[in-house]
Amino acid sequence: MAFKTRITELLDIEHPIVQGGMQSVGVAELASAVSNAGGLGLLTALTQPSPQALREEIERCRSMTDKPFGVNLTVFPTMNSPDYAGYVKAIIDGGITIVETAGTSAVAEFWEMMKPHGIRILHKCTSVRHSVSAERKGVDAISIDGFECAGHPGEDDVPGLVLIPCAADQVKIPMIASGGFGDGRGLVAALALGAEGINMGTRFCATQEAQIHPNVKQAYVDNDERGTHLIFRNFKNTARVGKSEVSDEVARRLAQPDAKFRDVAELVAGTAGRELLQTGDLTKGVFWASMVQGLIHDIPTVKELIDRIIGEADAILDKRLAGMHRNA
């Protein structure tokens, strides 16, 4: 069964499944596999060390798929900001027509650079109010992130079961549900709640094509729905990471009175996280993970995963829910 929604029409994809932009994971092998399987694959712009490297990665991905794929661009204020304008130019010059954005309101200036080139903007939000604001500013679709998600879930702690329909009640443009999705049950639930597709990050990390060490993929399988830590809550910059000895220690240090970021800086550094993903040494840093770990029991190919999700969703609609309706 094909699930045709405003998201599949907007993105010109077969299935309403989008691969989230993930630092050090969103590269050509994974993005092309998702697109080839009928979803939307995304390259993560800032995984590439320079705008020129992003140009080359776009071309590499294009050589691996003839299906639509996009680029994620996350904008956060830092001490040494990346050349965001350069990355945007690489996106435009590379002929990319779909961009997932996230981050602070500063990202709006880059929407203005991209929109004249026909680029469709999917903006990731963690609250209804930010979704409404992004719609007002002209984005094409919202990706709404519930509290279950990996990475930064915001500070409101509203889970998807409530956040998705609350956003659907106020946002008129197409909306993708994100955070805690990993199987056909989640897809059907998201559609029932008012979304028109799902975004998956952590679940795609535990696939054959994800370019990360098998030890990390196995950690996703071994952890359950309780297997995450929320860190940086003290600093109003909450992040959800996978449970490990290192994240246990980060949580312990941050629970101390007057804890400072410098107390955990060496444990959460981006360089340490990249080394962990490459070497599989879980003592090197922390890794992003959502509560969907409780639903991860294997490491399939991307195509096997997407086909399974669509098959499960089809069966739920055709058998379980249809039977309940007939018996009512």
> Mind listing the pLDDT tens digit for each residue in 19-33?
999 999 999 999 999
How far apart are alpha carbons 213 and 173 in whole angstroms? 38
Strands (E), 169-225: 175-178, 198-200
226-234: long-range contacts at Cβ-Cβ below 8 A with a sequence spacing of 24 or more?
A: 226/294, 227/289, 227/293, 227/294, 228/150, 228/289, 228/290, 228/291, 228/293, 230/153, 231/264, 231/268, 231/286, 232/261, 234/259
Sign of CA dihedral 113, 62, 33, 43: negative
Give 276-294 pLDDT, tens digit per residue: 999 999 999 999 999 999 9
CATH class of residue range 6-212: alpha beta
**b/e burial code for range 89-117 (CB count within 10 A of at least 16 → b):** bbbbebebbbbbbbbeeebbebbeebeee
Phi-psi region of 117 (alpha: psi -120 to 50; beta: other; left: phi over 0): alpha
Looking up tokens 């304008």, which residue turns up? 85
The confidence band for 324, taking pLDDT boundaries of 50, 70 and 90, is low
Helix (H, G, I), strand (E, B) or coil at 44: strand
Give 63-117 pLDDT, tens digit per residue: 999 999 999 999 987 768 899 999 999 999 999 999 999 998 889 999 999 999 9
Q: Is the pTM of this model over 0.85?
A: yes
Domain parsing of the chain, residue ranges: 6-212, 214-291
